[in-house]
Amino acid sequence: MVIETYGGAMNLRRIYTMIMLVLIGIVHSAAAQPIGLDSGHITKTLKLPDGATFTVTVSVAKWRSDPYKDAHLWGAWGAKPKTVIALVAASRNEGKIVVPFSSYSDLADPRTVELRLKGNNVELEIGNGDARHSYRAVLVFAKGWYLSSRRVVDSEMPKEAREETKYFGVENR
């Protein structure tokens, strides 16, 4: 009896351990999924109220010291990041929208990419979930026609560490 109970307890422990490993794997993979890239790209598409299709692709690349040898990047204050955003390409009904390199080149180690409609505008939110160096960057496309602004906020100190850039462009009509 004791041997059977012990064996049963061992089997329960093994089953419990396997279940925990599977759950940890699921949670880990879910946490990594929002962008899930060390290098590569993710594409998001949104249907606009006027029937147009807005598409954005965010490309991530491994960090190299060029072109910014000692740059301080969002998400990597005082440290070398693992990855940086290499390109943000946007389009409306396949017509390209200008997205300046300066609007994303200082964003390091992105973890999440979200595309949403807010009022008449399209917002691309890029986040870094690292608690120590986390940020939230929002690129706003006016009515889905052109990049109109960018806000970056430090998640720990949003009032002390933030920046906002306004862009003035011609609508791609």
Per-residue confidence band for 22, with pLDDT thresholds at 50, 70 and 90: very low
Reported as a single tens digit per residue, the pLDDT across 25-71 is 433 333 333 444 556 899 999 999 999 999 999 999 988 876 667 77
Cα–Cα separations (whole angstroms), residue 97 to 21, 26, 74, 130, 171:
45, 37, 24, 30, 9
At 64-102, the pLDDT tens digits run: 876 667 778 888 877 788 899 999 999 999 899 999 999
Asked whether the beta carbons of 84 and 108 are under 8 A apart, the reply is yes
Torsion angle defined by CA atoms of residues 77, 82, 86 and 91, in that order, rounded to the nearest 10 degrees = -90
pLDDT category at 18 given cuts 50, 70, 90 is very low
Per DSSP, 107 falls in state: B
Pairwise CA distance, residues 112 & 155, whole Å: 14
Domain map of the chain by residue range? 1-33, 35-166
Q: How far apart are CA 47 and CA 55, in angstroms?
A: 9
Question: How high is the pLDDT of residue 24?
Answer: 40
Give the tens place of pLDDT for each residue, 119-146. Answer: 999 999 999 876 667 899 999 999 999 9
In contact, 61 and 82? CB cutoff 8 Å: no
Q: What pLDDT score does 71 carry?
A: 76
Tell me the two tokens of residue 66. 């060029």
CA distance 173 to 108: 33
By the 8 A CB rule, do 44 and 115 touch? Answer: yes
d(CA 49, CA 52): 7
